[in-house]
Every structure is written in structure tokens, then in C-alpha cells.
A = this chain, B = another copy of it.
Amino acid sequence: MKIHTILSPQLFSLFEKEVVDKQVLVIDILRATTSMVVMLENGATSVRPVAGVEEALRLKQENPALLIAGERNGFKVEGFEFGNSPQEFTPERVRGESLVITTTNGTQALSLSLAASHIWVGGFLNMNALVASICDTKKDVFLFCAGWKGHVNLEDTLFAGAVAQQLVDKGWAVADDATRAAMSLWLQAQGDLHGFLSEASHVQRFQSMHAESDLDVCLKCNTSGMSVRYENGVLVAIPS
């Protein structure tokens, strides 16, 4: 089984045919795919990612009981119940609720991945669970970094490298230079992830937004044992 890495949605067209009937792991560490796992971990009944603000508002109009979450350019959308901070999705606010989420980059990567047979979602917080699910599925995997408006970013690339390293340790093969680069970066960063990322564009953007405490949540490893799969338009929790 082989590991491929797609460093940004802008590169996806190169892999469009290859992902058919394979596995894709969608990665948007800061913060979409991290928040999606937190929602399910904290008891949301269903989570539906959608690409646009308009679609989220239309769903809400049809079903006012839905709670809608999302950001554009990193800020909460007006009229939404939640932004995109994983710390907002507390058990008190999400248990038993149906949520809709739309984000700048994460949901776009999800909607590009529909031809895959398995679409996994997550981040550092459920890394080991994701690796176990990918291994159980036994198909080539594409680690799909959501990036930032088409640009490659460090945190998604590092997480791709971390997952690739675990798969290589289990005997998987590396298919491309993007995976090799991601693994080398992870090797350098793993001892001090916060330090390594302190210069990253997205981290600096967070500091300017006073959302630094989100970073701790997004970079902490394996606080959840839950793998998350995207299926028929909704996210499904797969407990380990």
C-alpha cells in the first residue's frame, strides 16, 4: 500500500483520477478538521460539512433546530451559532445537537474528495485512531492538506508527515516527493511542534486574532480515540 500527499487543493487535479476508490484523509489542522472531531467527541448527533455560507443558512431556514458553525477568513460568520474554534464546541453546547459547518479550506477539500471510497477527517487530536482506520482499510491513501486559500501551509504538511511516518513504520511505501518532504519536516518538528510552527503564517494569523489557546487544542496528540469518516454528506464517528 502506498502513501501520497496532496499539499494543497490547488494540486488536487493532478490526483483526481488516482483517488477514485482509494482512501483520502482530509487535513485542516487549524481548525476545521480538528473542530469536526471535537463536535462528535463531545456528543453532537450529526455534523454536516457544507461548502458555502448560503447553503448553511438555507439548511438552517429549513430546519431551525440546526446549529450552524463556520468562518470566513478565520472569523465567525454573522448569524451563525458558532465560529470555527474547537473550544466553542463544548459538551454543554453540542450534545444531542445537529450541526452544520462551513470553513474556508477544509470543506472545500472534502467536496473535492468524493470519488474516494473512504474519506477520513481529523488531526493531531485523533491521529492514532485515523492511522488504525487507514490501516484496516488496506487501500492506497492520499493525505490531502487543505492549506490556506490554495497555498501550502506548514501545519497541515507536518500532520501529513506524522501520519505518513506511522504508516511507513507499519510497512507502507512512500509514493511521491511531497510525502518525503512532509516526513522530513515532521522529523525536524516533532520534538517541538509549537516552536517549529511559531513562524508559520497561520500561527501568526492566530496570534493576531488572539486565538492562541486554540493552537494548544489543535496541536495536542491523541486526546480522542475516535476516527471520523465522511459518508453520504455527514461525518460519522468510528470509536476505536
Contacts and interface: CB of A to CB of B under 8 A. Distances in A.
Interface of A: 7-8, 10-11, 13-14, 149-154, 157, 174, 176-178, 180-181, 184-185, 187-189, 196, 199-202
Contact of A10 (B10, B153, B176, B187): B10
A55 B187 CA distance: 45
Contact of A177 (B13, B154, B180): B154
Consensus secondary structure, chain A interface:
helix
Given A11-B8, A11-B150, A150-B14, A200 B180 contact: yes
A194 to B, nearest CB: 15
A157 B181 contact: yes
B14 A11 contact: no
A10 B151 CA distance: 11
A45 to B, nearest CB: 36
B7 A14 contact: no
A38 B14 CA distance: 32
A181 B199 contact: no
Contacts of A187: 188
A14 B153 CA distance: 14
A49 B10 CA distance: 27
21 contacts: A7-B152, A8-B11, A10-B10, A10-B11, A10-B14, A11-B150, A11-B152, A14-B149, A151-B178, A152-B177, A152-B181, A153-B177, A154-B180, A157-B177, A157-B181, A174-B199, A177-B201, A181-B181, A184-B188, A185-B185, A188-B188
